[in-house]
Amino acid sequence: MPASEDEQRQPGTGARMLARLRQARLALVVLAAGCVLLSLEPEVGPVHLFALFAAVLVVVLVSGSVPEILRRADPPTRPAASIWPDTSMKMLVEALPDPCFIADRNGILRYANKAAVASFGPARPGDPLSFKLRVPELLAAVDRTGRGGVVETIRFTDRNPTERFFEAAISAVRLGRIEGKVDFVLIRLSDRTDLVRMERMRGDFIANASHELRTPLASLKGFVETLLGPARNDEVNRERFLRIMLEQGERMARLIDDLLSLSRIEMKAHVQPDRAVDLEAVLRHTLGLLETLARENGTEIVVERGEGPFVVRGDQDELVQVLSNLVENAVKYGREGGRVEIGLARVRDRTEPLAPRSACATTDPASRPSTCRG
């Protein structure tokens, strides 16, 4: 039967018990000798009997110092090794924002923090780690760390319930409970799903952009070769070829402008605008850019202005681009001879103001007004 926690904290428990047994044995020996003496010597009276008991008492009192001597000589016992992490280790793991699991060196789950439960569901301590993380590469790395104490980092994909990408940092925890062996293995998981998806989107975008650039380039190259070859002296088709080349060149220019705009937006994603922009000036500039397109399509652009001023904080070039895209699409995909109406007015805000730290939550579909108020 394992020793209790109080017995583990009190050194020399075995020595004290041995000393008490010796005291009792010595007292019994003295009493037995007295009884034998009384049986052999009938003339021994009460005085002798009292002296006998006094002698026994003296022996017991004198032998009472033996436990202290034995306790000093007995080295303190070492507490038994525990298979469960202590409270301080659990608190440290709970403070980490990433999902973390603690397993023993045999791969048995001993603890999972709240982030791990939220990401992978409830985990029952005492079950094999493979019940919760069914990743052969991860389990093999945990086994190697538990046996040799090596630190490993692996990446794996979890497809339950959806495809997610994780990076696992596996390290050994040595507490000195068992000399020369690993006590626990810490598995810390970092969710890389957003990063991997962004890399995929970037790769797809580069592939699509390369394809879009290759098409007009091939067209330009073909027409140039034709003009330098068979159509060198063909006055009839030369002008038609040159117009097509101009259209393809403009297509390439628009694509390059889009790439530059995307790069500029990514660079300024975390930069707060600090310039005041007049929206009337933005509107006038946009109408000037699209005047020719609207006239060619027979589209009338009507502007309704309210009471100004219309000054906001932002980036003028980006606002011009946004408004130009909206109006251009309305002109291109509207009916011929139609009408595009643009309204410019101040809107009175009747809602409760948002705290600055909660402004980003306005784009979160799961947010609620009660959670965003300042």
- What is 72-114 written as a DSSP string? HHSPPPPPPP-SS--HHHHHHHHTSSS-EEEEETTSBEEEE-H
Q: What is the pLDDT of residue 23?
A: 66
Q: What is the pLDDT of residue 191?
A: 92
Q: What is the pLDDT of residue 209?
A: 79
The helix (run of H) or strand (run of E) holding residue 345 is none
Work out the percent of the chain whose per-residue pLDDT is above 70. 70
Q: What is the pLDDT of residue 253?
A: 85
pLDDT 10s digits, 106-129: 999 999 999 999 989 898 999 999
Mean pLDDT of the chain: 77
Given a contact cutoff of 8 angstroms between Cβ atoms, the answer to whether 113 and 100 are in contact is: yes
Q: What is the pLDDT of residue 29?
A: 66
pLDDT 10s digits, 197-220: 888 888 887 888 788 788 888 888
pLDDT band at 92 (very low <50, low <70, confident <90, very high): very high
The one-character DSSP state at 354 is B
Name the least confident of 24-38, 70-84, 146-160, 313-327: 70-84
More confident residue, 45 or 235: 235
Name the least confident of 157-166, 177-186, 214-223, 263-272: 263-272
The helix (run of H) or strand (run of E) holding residue 340 is strand 339-344
Q: Are strands 276-278 and 300-305 parallel, antiparallel or unpaired?
A: unpaired
Who's near 254: CB < 8 A, 6+ residues apart?
Answer: none
Name the least confident of 76-90, 123-137, 318-332: 76-90
Name the least confident of 97-106, 125-134, 346-355: 346-355
Q: What is the pLDDT of residue 345?
A: 85
pLDDT band at 142 (very low <50, low <70, confident <90, very high): very high
Q: What is the pLDDT of residue 94?
A: 93
Q: What is the pLDDT of residue 254?
A: 81
CA 1 – CA 212 distance, rounded (Å): 77
Given a contact cutoff of 8 angstroms between Cβ atoms, the answer to whether 358 and 374 are in contact is: yes
pLDDT band at 140 (very low <50, low <70, confident <90, very high): very high
Given a contact cutoff of 8 angstroms between Cβ atoms, the answer to whether 154 and 138 are in contact is: yes
Q: What is the pLDDT of residue 7?
A: 41
Q: Which pair of tokens denotes residue 102?
A: 């603690």
The one-character DSSP state at 270 is T
pLDDT band at 374 (very low <50, low <70, confident <90, very high): very low
Q: What is the pLDDT of residue 111?
A: 94
What are the φ and ψ backbone dihedral angles of 12, each rounded to 5 degrees? 75, 25
pLDDT of 188 > 90? The answer is yes
CA 110 – CA 142 distance, rounded (Å): 13
CA 50 – CA 54 distance, rounded (Å): 6
Work out the percent of the chain whose per-residue pLDDT is above 90. 19
pLDDT of 91 > 80? The answer is yes
* Termini Cα distance of the chain: 60
pLDDT of 45 > 60? The answer is no
Q: What is the pLDDT of residue 181?
A: 86
Given a contact cutoff of 8 angstroms between Cβ atoms, the answer to whether 66 and 19 are in contact is: yes
Q: Are strands 300-305 and 339-344 parallel, antiparallel or unpaired?
A: parallel
Cα 61–chain centre separation: 67
Helix 46-63 vs helix 13-40: crossing angle, to nearest 10: 160
CA 170 – CA 188 distance, rounded (Å): 7
Q: Which pair of tokens denotes residue 229?
A: 């070859």
Least Cα distance to 189 among 169, 165, 164 occurs for: 169
Reduced to 3 states (helix: H, G, I; strand: E, B; else coil), residue 351 is coil
Count CB neighbours of 286 within 10 A: 22
pLDDT band at 71 (very low <50, low <70, confident <90, very high): very low
Alpha helices in 150-273 (DSSP H): 193-228, 235-267
Sheet with 109-112: strands ordered across: 109-112, 100-104, 184-191, 164-173, 152-158
CA 190 – CA 170 distance, rounded (Å): 11
CA 61 – CA 55 distance, rounded (Å): 10
Backbone region of residue 149 per phi and psi (left: phi > 0; alpha: psi in -120 to 50; beta: other values): left
The one-character DSSP state at 360 is G
Reduced to 3 states (helix: H, G, I; strand: E, B; else coil), residue 238 is helix
More confident residue, 320 or 68: 320
Q: What is the pLDDT of residue 334?
A: 84
C-alpha torsion sign, points 349, 355, 360, 362 = negative
Number of H helices, E strands in the chain: 12, 9
More confident residue, 299 or 374: 299
**Average of pLDDT values for 338-354?**
77
pLDDT of 43 > 70? The answer is no
CA 335 – CA 345 distance, rounded (Å): 26
More confident residue, 30 or 262: 262
pLDDT of 64 > 80? The answer is no
